[in-house]
Structure 1
Amino acid sequence: MSVAETASFWPHIMQPAGDEASSVPSLQDVIEVYNRVYTAVWDVGTHRSQQQKAGCQPESMERKQEQDDNCDEHLELDDLPEPVKLHILSFLDVKSICQLAASSRDWRILGNDNILWRNLLDRDGPSWSSIGHRGGTDLSKDDHKWRYVQCCPEAQRHKEASSIGSQLRGYLRSLFPKTLPMVAMFGPGLNTNTSQIVRAIISGKEGVFNTNMQSTMWQTKLPRRGGGGGLAIKFRNKQEFFLITLYSGTRREREGQSAANKLLVPKTPTSADAEPEYELKHTFRRLCSEVAGFIFVVDASLGIDHVESGLAELQAMTDQRWTPASTPVLVLSCVPGEGETRLTCIKVMEALQLGSMTRPWQVQNAVAGSLQDVDTGVEWLMNNMQGT
């Protein structure tokens, strides 16, 4: 390992908190530690090689024991200083870190290092095509290991596969066919080039999305359904849901990029200096109480400001005063076409403050035009909708 690699890594592993005096060794100290480790390993290897060439022939039993001790001398991994151990851990995958942490108390302490897990989250998080959480725990707290485990797609898939509840819901779904569950699609991404996702779903994708006009006619006749029209969609030729698309304005208003949002009304300000707050219009509250799942669409190609512009709408729709806490939210982080630059799932999660959301949620990268990976997100939504 080069000195340059050591120098670039060290500031990310140990940082002094606040204005406290730093106890972090200087860069020269770290380089000297590495030099000592390298020299010790080299000297031991050279010494043993010379003894083996000489045959290590003892003149007495006492001399033999002394030489055996010298021949067995080597540098153990546990002998390394903690900063070096943390450096080693930073190159390992998470599974290997957890296995090493289970080997001893000292390694368990290092394996739970919060800064180590923050760096692992920064390293691995941008490559995740989806992240999600079943709710009930505040992911915004400063526990990076917990955030990693809760958001890692591989860990989430393992939990879903082993969930008895998920298997039971699938079994009951096959026994009790009933009124199609409603899914509401909304979000600022329906006002940009990613709005084509609606037309793509309605047009259908072989083996994934198919429009069922017969079920649509039957569903819209139900008197208790209200708040907008929609279409019955059959997903992967087995699960059906009623998709309702909720735009923030008319087509003309959206094309004119009107700032008004017809889903929301401003709250009465508590003071003249208070930031404006919004809540859902009464006409949509009953709809939210009956919706089985939400699909929130953002255009990840437009940057953080665009995603944050939908925060008030998302919070208003998922307010627990009219939306059950068990209703899941799928955030489709879309780009119009393949190969376009996008925000990472973690950036979208942070912009929408999903870490503090107590209901099940998932952020899924997707391509609006081709519906690439949209089915992965919808499958998660179907598996997490209560009573479906």
Structure 2
Amino acid sequence: MAGSEWARLEAVVRHGLRQLRERYLHSVRDWREQGVTDPTGASDEAGESSPELGDSLLCDLPVDMQLYIMTFLTPHDLCSLGMTNHYWDQMTRDRLLWRYFLLRDLPSWPSIEWHSLPDISILNSCLSESPDGATPDYMSVYVKSCPKNRKSTRARHPIYGAVTSFLQSLVMQTEPRFAMFGQGLEQLDDSLVTRMMTSPELRPVVSILQRQIDGIGSGVTFQLDDQHKFNILTLYSRTRNERDRARVDPNVVGNKMFVPEAPGDNQLATPDNLIPQVKEVCRIVDGFIYVANAESHNNHNRPEEMAQVLAMTDPTFGPLKRPLLVLSCIAQPGNKRIPCVYMAHELGLNKLQRPWMVQNTEASTLSGLLDGIAWILNEVGKKM
């Protein structure tokens, strides 16, 4: 976001907090005239009243300084501050302040899931001083979407989870299989698959290497943490030589996973024109891994990418409960990336009727990959 937009947003927050503080101080004066000595409603165990608002050095600071101090707090610390008294409870719940936190922290979130994706209208309204319609509860949106909060609330029923894991283990005797495909496998300067093959955390069991599908795909079984085995069937839209040429010349077209419905037609991504070998892969796998190119400086055809995802995950090939992991991938740590929340909206994942997660990943370091693998293994019944 541009510096001018941040300055405008901060000015709106300060203005809102200043009005809130003036309203509260007016109420405190009314309470004092009525003989109420503890407007916060807080008292210690000995029955002594807490200091009044005017006796607190922190509360005596200008609103601008209070806001400046609160911007250094984490959302967890901000909620703790709100529990001290009524004044800070109202201050820390201000919607403009949580707008600020949402815009500030959202680009740094490493993942987002299907049940916690903020609505695009809420994200757009964050740039408006007077959004139309009902005012969103930005605090609730933040708490629901933040990855740390999602992880802390994931296992609420340990007994139920243990029983479910046991029953699923009876059904799934072999290692789960995942189909991995996407532009991030072919466009990035660093190969995600090559890095996975040499990763000490993902030990490949090369002895059961799968046979290639017409030269555009192969499969290999990995072992995570020396105990969880899973198979990845990697599908490419071009051969290796064609992929190398496409990195130099972006105008190179063609997709061997799909065949045109008639000579001369565009290769539209639909379930009907998937080649038979890829259709068979889509029927036998337990989940899907889509590798998206998340580098912001590249041009992306997200509608076509989403069409390919919809074709591969079509319900005619298998149940809707099969999960989709989207690896939002960049080649090197220093490359600018598209935030995972915006990647989810660009791909239209909110329209899918199946569990999905977008996970930030780096090809060269494999940062974030293990978190994504752990999520999809959990979704298919392999409790991590």
Q: What TM-score, normalized to structure 1?
A: 0.65
- Report whether the alignment pairs 1:362 with 2:357: yes
Measure how far apart 1:246 and its partner are. 0.8
Question: In structure 2, do the counterparts of structure 1 residues 346 and 31 end up closer, same or farther at CA, with 3 Å as the change threshold?
Answer: closer
Counterpart for residue 342 of structure 1: 337
Which runs of structure 2 are paired with 1:217-232 in the superposition (5 Å)?
229-232=218-221
One-letter amino acid of the structure 2 residue matched with residue 278 of structure 1: A
Mapped pair 1:111 → 2:106: no
Aligned to 1:210: 203
| Aligned-residue CA RMSD (Å) | 4.7
Instruction: Report the AA paired with residue 229 of structure 2.
Output: E
Q: Give me the whole-angstrom Cα distance separating, in 1, the residues matched to 2:79 and 2:184.
A: 39
Unaligned runs of 5+ in 2: 27-50, 123-135, 247-251
Task: Indicate if the aligned counterparts of 2:118 and 2:145 stay in contact, CA closer than 8 A.
Answer: no
* Deviation of the 1:79 alpha carbon: 12
Aligned counterpart, 1:293 = 287
User: Which of 153, 160, 180 in structure 1 is aligned with 2:154?
Assistant: 160
Deviations along 1:259-288, one digit per CA (max 9) or x if unpaired, are 2223346789xxxxxx99631316234432
Partner of 2:125: none
CA–CA distance in 1 between the matches of 2:52 and 2:86? Answer: 23
Equivalences, count: 321
CA offset at residue 89 of structure 1?
6.6
The residue that corresponds to 2:225 in the other structure is 236
Tell me what 2:371 maps to: 376
Q: Which amino acid aligns with 1:111?
A: R
> Once the 2 structures are TM-superposed, how far is the Cα of residue 84 of structure 1 from its aligned partner?
10
CA-CA distance at 1:179 after TM superposition: 2.5
Structure 1 Cα separation of the partners of residues 52 and 149 of structure 2: 42
Asked if 1:94 is matched to 2:87, the reply is no
Residue 20 of structure 1 corresponds to: none
Displacement, 1:342? 2.4
Residues 230 and 106 of structure 1, relative CA distance in 2, 3 Å threshold: same
8 Å Cα contact 2:169/2:381 also seen in 1: no
Q: Structure 2 length as normaliser, TM-score?
A: 0.65
Corresponding residue of 2:299:
305
Tell me what 2:249 maps to: none
Equivalent of residue 256 in structure 1, options 203, 223, 245: 245
Q: Tell me the SS of whatever aligns to 2:317.
A: coil
Tell me which structure has the larger Cα radius of gyration. Answer: 1
Correspondence for 2:54 among 53, 71, 74: 74
CA distance in 2, matches of 1:73, 1:301: 50
- The one-letter code of the counterpart of 2:307 is A
Corresponding residue for 2:102?
121
1:222-252: CA deviation from partner (whole Å, max 9, x where unpaired): xxxxx96411111221111111001112223
| TM-aligned CA deviation for residue 346 of structure 1 | 2.5
Please report how far the alpha carbon of residue 121 of structure 1 lies from its aligned counterpart in structure 2 after TM superposition: 1.7
Question: Does the 8 Å contact 1:332/1:365 carry over to 2?
Answer: yes
Equivalent position SS for 1:342: coil
Moved more, 98-107 or 180-189: 98-107
Give the % identical residues.
28
Q: 1:106/1:209 Cα in 2 relative to 1: closer, same or farther (>3 Å)?
A: closer
Residue 212 (structure 1) shift: 1.8
For the residue of structure 1 that corresponds to 2:364, the secondary structure is: coil
Give the residue type in structure 1 aligned to 2:339: T
CA distance in 2: counterparts of 1:91 and 1:82, whole angstroms? 15
Task: Point out where structure 1 has 5 or more consecutive residues left out of the alignment.
Answer: 15-26, 41-70, 221-226, 269-274
Corresponding residue for residue 149 of structure 1? 143
